[in-house]
Amino acid sequence: MTRGLTRHIVLIGMMGAGKTAIGSELARRLRVPFTDSDAEIEAAAAMSISEIFARDGEAFFRARESQVLGRLLAGAPGVISTGGGAWMSAGNRDMIGARGLSVWLNCAPELLWQRVRQRPTRPLLQTADPKGTLLRLLAERSPVYAQAGLEFLSQAGDSIEMSTTRLIAALQ
Ligand code: S3P
């Protein structure tokens, strides 16, 4: 596992599931590149995700997200962390399936909420009832996330290091 990654490991799942934190630790341990699709979109646009949503709308963001994913997947195999909605596109799922192993970082709803409420910047949660919105998105998306190649449950008491150790074992 630590040598010669032949395809990308692509982390998918809800906001707050720990995709970026676990993904960067996983890449460090596997000694492969780590990229975060949201960070790549922000760097290319020189704007935050919130600014892109506010200025250009969600459809524009989704088109950029697919472009960036295509570019990252064409590169040397590594760990890629995606935004929570990326896996909802059939085209993105096909691209990811062709070049990588998709891993659903699943997480208890209450834990997701505890994490995302600490960073209230996500544009999709700028609603009158952000927790209700988060839970609705989770319910809508879970059956689609469940189509990933591997499901990994991120547990409340686990540190990033512990989760990553468990994930590496699950990937063997
Ligand atoms: C989104 C999740 C965000 C970001 C954008 C949309 C979503 O990424 O891509 O705000 O649709 O769930 P994270 O999952 O990294 O928060």
pLDDT of residue 1: 52
Range of the domain at 28: 8-164
Is 94 annotated for ligand binding? no
**CATH code of residue 123:** 3.40.50.300
Cα(102) to centroid(ligand 1), Å: 17
Give yes or no for residue 2 having a pLDDT over 50. Answer: no
- Reduce the DSSP state of residue 66 to 3 states and report it: helix
Q: What is the pTM of this model?
A: 0.96
- Give a yes or no: residue 171 inside a domain: no
Q: Name the residue at shortest CA distance from atom 5 of ligand 1.
A: 83
Total domains, the chain: 1
pLDDT digits (tens, 9 = 90+) for 7-21: 999 999 999 999 999
Cα(85) to centroid(ligand 1), Å: 6
pLDDT digits (tens, 9 = 90+) for 131-152: 999 999 999 999 999 999 999 9
Cβ–Cβ < 8 Å for 123, 57:
no
Is 131 annotated for ligand binding? no
Is 18 annotated for ligand binding? yes
- Give a yes or no: residue 140 inside a domain: yes
- Give a yes or no: residue 65 inside a domain: yes
* Residue 131: both structure tokens together: 């927790």
pLDDT of residue 3: 57
Cβ–Cβ < 8 Å for 107, 163:
no
Cα(122) to centroid(ligand 1), Å: 7
- Give a yes or no: residue 172 inside a domain: no
Distance CA 151, CA 12 (A): 10
pLDDT digits (tens, 9 = 90+) for 88-116: 999 999 999 999 999 999 999 999 999 99
pLDDT digits (tens, 9 = 90+) for 23-73: 999 999 999 999 999 999 999 999 999 999 999 999 999 999 999 999 999
